[in-house]
Amino acid sequence: MNERDRRAQQHPSRRSGGARPFGPGEAPLGVRPGLAGQRRRAGVETAPRPVGREAVPAGRRAGGRRLRPETVRALRRIAILVLMIGATLAPPALASSGTFKITSLRLVGLGLLDEGAVSAASGVVLGDGLLTSDPRRIELMLDAIPFVASSRVRVGLPGEIRAEIREERPLLRWSSSGSIYLLSGGGELLGLANSPLLSSAGRTMLDQLPLINDLRGGAPLLAEALISRLDLDIATRLASLTLADLGSTATRLSIQIDPQYGFVLKGDGEGIAWNAVFGVYSATIRPPEMLPGQVRLLRSLLAGRERKIGWVILADGQAGTFTEPGIRPPAPPGASAEPSTAPSSAPSGSPVTP
Protein backbone atom coordinates (compact mmCIF):
# COMPACT_ATOMS: atom_id res chain seq x y z
CA MET A 1 0.00 0.00 0.00
CA ASN A 2 1.42 3.26 -1.03
CA GLU A 3 1.34 6.62 0.71
CA ARG A 4 -1.76 7.78 -1.10
CA ASP A 5 -3.83 4.76 -0.09
CA ARG A 6 -2.66 5.11 3.48
CA ARG A 7 -3.88 8.72 3.59
CA ALA A 8 -7.23 7.75 2.13
CA GLN A 9 -7.72 5.19 4.91
CA GLN A 10 -6.77 7.67 7.60
CA HIS A 11 -8.99 10.48 6.20
CA PRO A 12 -12.09 8.99 4.58
CA SER A 13 -13.79 11.19 1.97
CA ARG A 14 -16.70 13.30 3.14
CA ARG A 15 -19.59 14.22 1.00
CA SER A 16 -19.88 17.97 0.38
CA GLY A 17 -22.71 20.07 -0.85
CA GLY A 18 -20.38 22.03 -3.19
CA ALA A 19 -16.87 23.14 -3.94
CA ARG A 20 -14.76 24.54 -1.13
CA PRO A 21 -11.67 26.73 -1.19
CA PHE A 22 -8.28 25.11 -1.16
CA GLY A 23 -6.76 24.75 2.25
CA PRO A 24 -3.18 25.58 3.08
CA GLY A 25 -0.83 23.40 1.08
CA GLU A 26 -3.64 21.94 -1.11
CA ALA A 27 -3.71 24.49 -3.93
CA PRO A 28 -1.84 23.45 -7.08
CA LEU A 29 0.73 25.73 -8.68
CA GLY A 30 -0.80 28.84 -10.23
CA VAL A 31 -3.90 28.84 -8.02
CA ARG A 32 -4.15 31.21 -5.05
CA PRO A 33 -5.68 29.68 -1.91
CA GLY A 34 -9.06 31.04 -0.86
CA LEU A 35 -10.16 32.27 -4.34
CA ALA A 36 -12.56 29.40 -5.06
CA GLY A 37 -10.30 27.84 -7.61
CA GLN A 38 -9.72 30.95 -9.78
CA ARG A 39 -6.52 30.80 -11.72
CA ARG A 40 -4.29 33.80 -12.30
CA ARG A 41 -1.43 34.47 -14.57
CA ALA A 42 1.92 35.23 -13.12
CA GLY A 43 2.37 38.98 -12.52
CA VAL A 44 -1.37 39.83 -12.90
CA GLU A 45 -3.36 40.88 -9.84
CA THR A 46 -7.08 40.21 -9.81
CA ALA A 47 -9.19 43.37 -9.16
CA PRO A 48 -11.35 43.07 -6.07
CA ARG A 49 -15.08 43.10 -6.59
CA PRO A 50 -16.85 46.26 -5.45
CA VAL A 51 -18.81 45.83 -2.31
CA GLY A 52 -22.43 46.93 -2.78
CA ARG A 53 -23.55 49.38 -0.14
CA GLU A 54 -27.02 50.55 0.53
CA ALA A 55 -27.55 54.28 -0.05
CA VAL A 56 -28.18 56.02 3.21
CA PRO A 57 -30.14 59.33 3.19
CA ALA A 58 -28.20 62.41 4.24
CA GLY A 59 -30.48 63.00 7.17
CA ARG A 60 -30.02 59.49 8.49
CA ARG A 61 -26.28 59.61 7.87
CA ALA A 62 -25.95 62.80 9.93
CA GLY A 63 -28.23 61.45 12.51
CA GLY A 64 -30.75 64.38 12.02
CA ARG A 65 -34.46 64.31 11.59
CA ARG A 66 -36.22 64.98 8.28
CA LEU A 67 -38.21 68.26 8.13
CA ARG A 68 -41.85 68.13 7.35
CA PRO A 69 -43.09 69.79 4.11
CA GLU A 70 -45.10 72.46 5.93
CA THR A 71 -41.98 73.42 7.91
CA VAL A 72 -39.95 73.79 4.70
CA ARG A 73 -42.62 76.02 3.17
CA ALA A 74 -42.71 78.21 6.27
CA LEU A 75 -38.93 78.64 6.20
CA ARG A 76 -39.06 79.62 2.54
CA ARG A 77 -41.66 82.29 3.25
CA ILE A 78 -39.53 83.70 6.06
CA ALA A 79 -36.45 83.82 3.77
CA ILE A 80 -38.39 85.66 1.04
CA LEU A 81 -39.73 88.14 3.58
CA VAL A 82 -36.23 88.85 4.88
CA LEU A 83 -34.95 89.45 1.34
CA MET A 84 -37.80 91.84 0.57
CA ILE A 85 -37.20 93.82 3.74
CA GLY A 86 -33.48 94.00 2.95
CA ALA A 87 -34.13 95.17 -0.61
CA THR A 88 -36.44 97.89 0.70
CA LEU A 89 -34.26 99.19 3.49
CA ALA A 90 -30.81 98.78 1.95
CA PRO A 91 -30.90 101.55 -0.74
CA PRO A 92 -32.08 104.34 1.61
CA ALA A 93 -29.59 103.20 4.21
CA LEU A 94 -26.74 103.22 1.69
CA ALA A 95 -27.86 106.55 0.28
CA SER A 96 -27.98 108.22 3.70
CA SER A 97 -24.67 106.75 4.70
CA GLY A 98 -22.89 108.42 1.77
CA THR A 99 -21.15 105.23 0.76
CA PHE A 100 -21.60 105.91 -2.99
CA LYS A 101 -20.99 109.44 -4.26
CA ILE A 102 -20.93 110.99 -7.73
CA THR A 103 -17.30 111.06 -8.79
CA SER A 104 -17.62 111.76 -12.54
CA LEU A 105 -20.07 112.93 -15.21
CA ARG A 106 -19.37 111.43 -18.61
CA LEU A 107 -20.92 113.19 -21.63
CA VAL A 108 -21.07 111.17 -24.84
CA GLY A 109 -22.03 112.50 -28.29
CA LEU A 110 -20.93 116.14 -28.02
CA GLY A 111 -19.77 117.76 -31.24
CA LEU A 112 -21.05 121.33 -31.21
CA LEU A 113 -21.56 121.93 -27.50
CA ASP A 114 -18.92 122.70 -24.90
CA GLU A 115 -18.50 119.95 -22.31
CA GLY A 116 -18.02 122.32 -19.39
CA ALA A 117 -21.11 124.36 -20.28
CA VAL A 118 -23.25 121.24 -20.63
CA SER A 119 -21.97 119.86 -17.32
CA ALA A 120 -22.91 123.08 -15.55
CA ALA A 121 -26.38 123.12 -17.14
CA SER A 122 -27.06 119.47 -16.26
CA GLY A 123 -27.46 120.17 -12.54
CA VAL A 124 -25.13 117.29 -11.59
CA VAL A 125 -22.91 118.12 -8.60
CA LEU A 126 -19.85 115.97 -7.99
CA GLY A 127 -19.79 114.65 -4.45
CA ASP A 128 -23.55 114.30 -4.10
CA GLY A 129 -25.08 110.93 -3.31
CA LEU A 130 -25.13 108.64 -6.33
CA LEU A 131 -28.16 106.63 -5.22
CA THR A 132 -30.21 109.77 -4.54
CA SER A 133 -29.62 111.19 -8.04
CA ASP A 134 -32.62 111.19 -10.39
CA PRO A 135 -31.70 110.20 -13.97
CA ARG A 136 -35.03 111.48 -15.32
CA ARG A 137 -34.49 114.92 -13.79
CA ILE A 138 -31.02 115.09 -15.33
CA GLU A 139 -32.47 114.15 -18.73
CA LEU A 140 -35.02 116.98 -18.48
CA MET A 141 -32.25 119.44 -17.64
CA LEU A 142 -30.17 118.31 -20.61
CA ASP A 143 -33.12 118.34 -23.02
CA ALA A 144 -33.78 121.98 -22.11
CA ILE A 145 -30.33 123.00 -23.41
CA PRO A 146 -30.42 124.57 -26.90
CA PHE A 147 -29.03 122.33 -29.66
CA VAL A 148 -29.87 119.15 -27.65
CA ALA A 149 -32.39 116.94 -29.43
CA SER A 150 -32.55 114.17 -26.83
CA SER A 151 -30.55 112.63 -23.99
CA ARG A 152 -30.34 109.40 -22.03
CA VAL A 153 -28.81 109.19 -18.55
CA ARG A 154 -27.51 106.07 -16.80
CA VAL A 155 -26.13 105.69 -13.28
CA GLY A 156 -23.30 103.23 -12.74
CA LEU A 157 -21.09 102.12 -9.88
CA PRO A 158 -18.83 103.06 -8.26
CA GLY A 159 -19.79 106.70 -8.92
CA GLU A 160 -20.25 107.51 -12.61
CA ILE A 161 -23.18 109.21 -14.32
CA ARG A 162 -23.16 108.64 -18.09
CA ALA A 163 -25.22 110.93 -20.35
CA GLU A 164 -25.66 110.05 -24.02
CA ILE A 165 -26.59 113.23 -25.94
CA ARG A 166 -27.93 113.59 -29.48
CA GLU A 167 -27.38 117.10 -30.81
CA GLU A 168 -29.67 118.97 -33.18
CA ARG A 169 -27.64 119.79 -36.30
CA PRO A 170 -28.34 123.28 -37.74
CA LEU A 171 -29.01 123.61 -41.46
CA LEU A 172 -28.66 127.37 -42.05
CA ARG A 173 -27.50 130.57 -40.41
CA TRP A 174 -30.16 133.28 -40.45
CA SER A 175 -29.16 136.90 -39.88
CA SER A 176 -31.92 139.21 -38.66
CA SER A 177 -31.94 142.46 -36.64
CA GLY A 178 -28.21 142.30 -36.00
CA SER A 179 -28.18 138.74 -34.67
CA ILE A 180 -27.26 135.48 -36.38
CA TYR A 181 -29.47 132.52 -35.55
CA LEU A 182 -29.04 128.84 -36.26
CA LEU A 183 -31.93 127.09 -38.01
CA SER A 184 -32.84 123.43 -37.97
CA GLY A 185 -34.07 121.53 -41.00
CA GLY A 186 -37.64 122.19 -39.85
CA GLY A 187 -37.15 125.97 -39.70
CA GLU A 188 -36.87 126.16 -35.90
CA LEU A 189 -34.48 128.68 -34.37
CA LEU A 190 -32.12 126.59 -32.25
CA GLY A 191 -30.17 129.46 -30.75
CA LEU A 192 -27.62 132.17 -31.47
CA ALA A 193 -24.49 131.43 -33.46
CA ASN A 194 -22.37 133.00 -30.70
CA SER A 195 -24.01 131.02 -27.88
CA PRO A 196 -21.64 130.35 -24.94
CA LEU A 197 -22.85 126.76 -24.99
CA LEU A 198 -20.96 126.14 -28.25
CA SER A 199 -17.37 124.95 -28.24
CA SER A 200 -14.68 126.61 -30.32
CA ALA A 201 -14.64 123.62 -32.67
CA GLY A 202 -18.43 123.83 -32.91
CA ARG A 203 -18.33 127.52 -33.85
CA THR A 204 -15.75 126.81 -36.53
CA MET A 205 -17.98 124.09 -37.95
CA LEU A 206 -21.07 126.32 -37.91
CA ASP A 207 -19.26 129.15 -39.69
CA GLN A 208 -19.26 126.96 -42.79
CA LEU A 209 -23.07 126.88 -42.98
CA PRO A 210 -24.85 129.04 -45.60
CA LEU A 211 -25.87 132.48 -44.32
CA ILE A 212 -29.23 134.08 -45.16
CA ASN A 213 -29.13 137.85 -44.57
CA ASP A 214 -32.70 138.95 -43.82
CA LEU A 215 -32.87 142.73 -44.37
CA ARG A 216 -36.59 143.01 -43.66
CA GLY A 217 -35.82 144.07 -40.09
CA GLY A 218 -38.43 143.98 -37.39
CA ALA A 219 -38.22 142.79 -33.81
CA PRO A 220 -35.56 140.22 -32.86
CA LEU A 221 -36.66 136.67 -33.43
CA LEU A 222 -37.77 134.82 -30.33
CA ALA A 223 -36.24 131.57 -29.14
CA GLU A 224 -37.83 128.49 -30.72
CA ALA A 225 -39.58 130.68 -33.31
CA LEU A 226 -40.30 129.18 -36.70
CA ILE A 227 -39.32 130.50 -40.10
CA SER A 228 -42.14 129.96 -42.58
CA ARG A 229 -41.90 126.81 -44.67
CA LEU A 230 -41.99 128.85 -47.88
CA ASP A 231 -39.08 131.08 -46.88
CA LEU A 232 -37.14 128.05 -45.64
CA ASP A 233 -37.78 126.19 -48.90
CA ILE A 234 -36.53 129.06 -51.09
CA ALA A 235 -33.57 129.74 -48.79
CA THR A 236 -32.39 126.12 -48.86
CA ARG A 237 -32.80 125.91 -52.65
CA LEU A 238 -30.71 129.04 -53.20
CA ALA A 239 -28.15 128.00 -50.57
CA SER A 240 -27.56 124.72 -52.43
CA LEU A 241 -26.48 126.53 -55.62
CA THR A 242 -22.79 126.57 -56.54
CA LEU A 243 -20.79 128.77 -58.91
CA ALA A 244 -20.56 125.83 -61.31
CA ASP A 245 -24.38 125.57 -61.38
CA LEU A 246 -24.52 129.16 -62.67
CA GLY A 247 -21.49 128.96 -64.95
CA SER A 248 -20.10 131.95 -63.03
CA THR A 249 -16.50 133.07 -62.63
CA ALA A 250 -17.27 134.87 -59.37
CA THR A 251 -15.55 133.77 -56.19
CA ARG A 252 -18.41 134.12 -53.72
CA LEU A 253 -22.19 133.78 -53.57
CA SER A 254 -24.43 135.31 -50.90
CA ILE A 255 -28.17 135.43 -50.28
CA GLN A 256 -30.28 138.35 -49.10
CA ILE A 257 -33.97 138.86 -48.42
CA ASP A 258 -34.66 142.44 -49.48
CA PRO A 259 -37.80 144.21 -48.26
CA GLN A 260 -38.48 145.46 -51.82
CA TYR A 261 -37.03 142.80 -54.12
CA GLY A 262 -37.52 139.66 -52.08
CA PHE A 263 -34.87 136.93 -52.45
CA VAL A 264 -31.68 138.21 -54.07
CA LEU A 265 -28.66 136.10 -55.02
CA LYS A 266 -25.40 138.06 -55.19
CA GLY A 267 -22.18 137.15 -56.99
CA ASP A 268 -18.88 138.87 -56.14
CA GLY A 269 -15.38 138.51 -57.50
CA GLU A 270 -12.62 140.44 -59.24
CA GLY A 271 -14.46 142.84 -61.53
CA ILE A 272 -17.74 141.03 -60.83
CA ALA A 273 -20.66 142.34 -58.76
CA TRP A 274 -24.10 141.25 -59.89
CA ASN A 275 -27.44 140.88 -58.10
CA ALA A 276 -30.02 138.37 -59.32
CA VAL A 277 -33.55 139.20 -58.14
CA PHE A 278 -35.55 136.00 -57.71
CA GLY A 279 -38.39 137.93 -56.11
CA VAL A 280 -41.11 137.15 -53.61
CA TYR A 281 -42.82 133.77 -53.67
CA SER A 282 -46.23 132.52 -52.68
CA ALA A 283 -47.91 129.14 -52.72
CA THR A 284 -50.13 130.05 -55.70
CA ILE A 285 -48.92 133.05 -57.75
CA ARG A 286 -45.16 132.40 -57.69
CA PRO A 287 -44.61 128.91 -56.24
CA PRO A 288 -41.12 127.60 -55.39
CA GLU A 289 -41.32 125.16 -58.33
CA MET A 290 -40.47 128.02 -60.72
CA LEU A 291 -37.04 128.51 -59.15
CA PRO A 292 -35.16 125.89 -61.27
CA GLY A 293 -36.29 127.68 -64.44
CA GLN A 294 -35.05 130.99 -63.01
CA VAL A 295 -31.66 129.41 -62.33
CA ARG A 296 -31.38 128.23 -65.94
CA LEU A 297 -32.35 131.69 -67.18
CA LEU A 298 -29.74 133.34 -64.93
CA ARG A 299 -27.07 131.00 -66.25
CA SER A 300 -27.89 131.92 -69.85
CA LEU A 301 -27.84 135.68 -69.04
CA LEU A 302 -24.46 135.47 -67.30
CA ALA A 303 -22.82 133.51 -70.10
CA GLY A 304 -20.28 135.75 -71.87
CA ARG A 305 -21.32 139.02 -70.18
CA GLU A 306 -21.03 138.46 -66.44
CA ARG A 307 -18.77 141.52 -65.94
CA LYS A 308 -21.26 143.74 -67.79
CA ILE A 309 -24.22 142.93 -65.56
CA GLY A 310 -25.26 144.84 -62.45
CA TRP A 311 -28.78 143.64 -61.69
CA VAL A 312 -30.79 140.76 -63.15
CA ILE A 313 -34.58 140.65 -62.81
CA LEU A 314 -35.89 137.09 -63.11
CA ALA A 315 -39.66 137.36 -63.54
CA ASP A 316 -40.00 133.62 -64.11
CA GLY A 317 -38.16 130.84 -65.87
CA GLN A 318 -38.51 132.45 -69.32
CA ALA A 319 -38.68 136.23 -68.87
CA GLY A 320 -35.80 138.25 -67.50
CA THR A 321 -33.79 141.43 -68.00
CA PHE A 322 -30.60 143.00 -66.64
CA THR A 323 -28.94 146.38 -66.08
CA GLU A 324 -25.37 147.56 -66.36
CA PRO A 325 -23.11 147.67 -63.31
CA GLY A 326 -23.98 150.46 -60.89
CA ILE A 327 -27.55 150.87 -62.13
CA ARG A 328 -30.17 149.80 -59.61
CA PRO A 329 -33.56 148.96 -61.11
CA PRO A 330 -36.74 150.47 -59.64
CA ALA A 331 -38.69 148.59 -57.04
CA PRO A 332 -41.10 146.03 -58.47
CA PRO A 333 -44.69 147.25 -58.86
CA GLY A 334 -46.73 146.72 -55.71
CA ALA A 335 -43.68 146.08 -53.52
CA SER A 336 -43.83 147.58 -50.07
CA ALA A 337 -40.93 149.75 -48.99
CA GLU A 338 -41.67 148.98 -45.34
CA PRO A 339 -39.94 145.87 -43.96
CA SER A 340 -42.09 143.16 -42.45
CA THR A 341 -41.83 142.48 -38.74
CA ALA A 342 -41.05 138.78 -39.13
CA PRO A 343 -40.35 136.20 -41.83
CA SER A 344 -43.65 135.28 -43.46
CA SER A 345 -44.90 133.11 -46.28
CA ALA A 346 -47.19 135.90 -47.51
CA PRO A 347 -45.73 137.79 -50.51
CA SER A 348 -44.67 141.42 -49.91
CA GLY A 349 -44.81 142.36 -53.58
CA SER A 350 -45.98 141.27 -57.01
CA PRO A 351 -43.86 139.37 -59.53
CA VAL A 352 -41.39 141.48 -61.44
CA THR A 353 -42.21 142.05 -65.09
CA PRO A 354 -39.22 142.40 -67.40
Q: Which pLDDT value is given to residue 84? A: 78
- Confirm if 329 and 354 have CB atoms less than 8 A apart: no
Q: Which pLDDT value is given to residue 336? A: 47
Pick from 63-67, 140-144, 300-304: least confident: 63-67
Pick from 12-16, 164-168, 232-236: least confident: 12-16
Segment 12-39, tens digit of pLDDT: 555 555 566 666 667 666 666 655 545 5
Reported as a pLDDT band with limits 50, 70 and 90, residue 72 is confident
Q: For residue 169, which of 129, 209, 204, 130 has the smallest C-alpha distance?
A: 209
Q: For residue 145, which of 104, 113, 107 has the smallest C-alpha distance?
A: 113
Segment 289-303, tens digit of pLDDT: 999 999 999 999 999
Q: Which pLDDT value is given to residue 103? A: 87
Q: Which pLDDT value is given to residue 202? A: 95
Task: For domain 104-167, say whether CATH 3.40.630.10 is its number.
Answer: no
pTM (2 decimals)?
Answer: 0.64
Q: What is the arithmetic mean of pLDDT over 303-321?
A: 92
Selected residue with higher pLDDT from 290 and 68? 290
Q: Which pLDDT value is given to residue 29? A: 67
Domain residue limits, the chain: 104-167, 169-354
- Confirm if 213 and 177 have CB atoms less than 8 A apart: no
Cβ-proximal residues to 118 (8 Å cutoff; 6+ apart), any chain: 107, 110, 142, 145, 165, 197
- Confirm if 173 and 153 have CB atoms less than 8 A apart: no
Q: For residue 262, which of 329, 181, 350, 179 has the smallest C-alpha distance?
A: 350
DSSP line for 174-233 = EEETTEEEEE-TTSBEEEETT-TTB-HHHHHHHTTS-EEEETT--SPPPTT-B--HHHHH
Q: CA 237, CA 235: separation in Å to the nearest integer?
A: 5
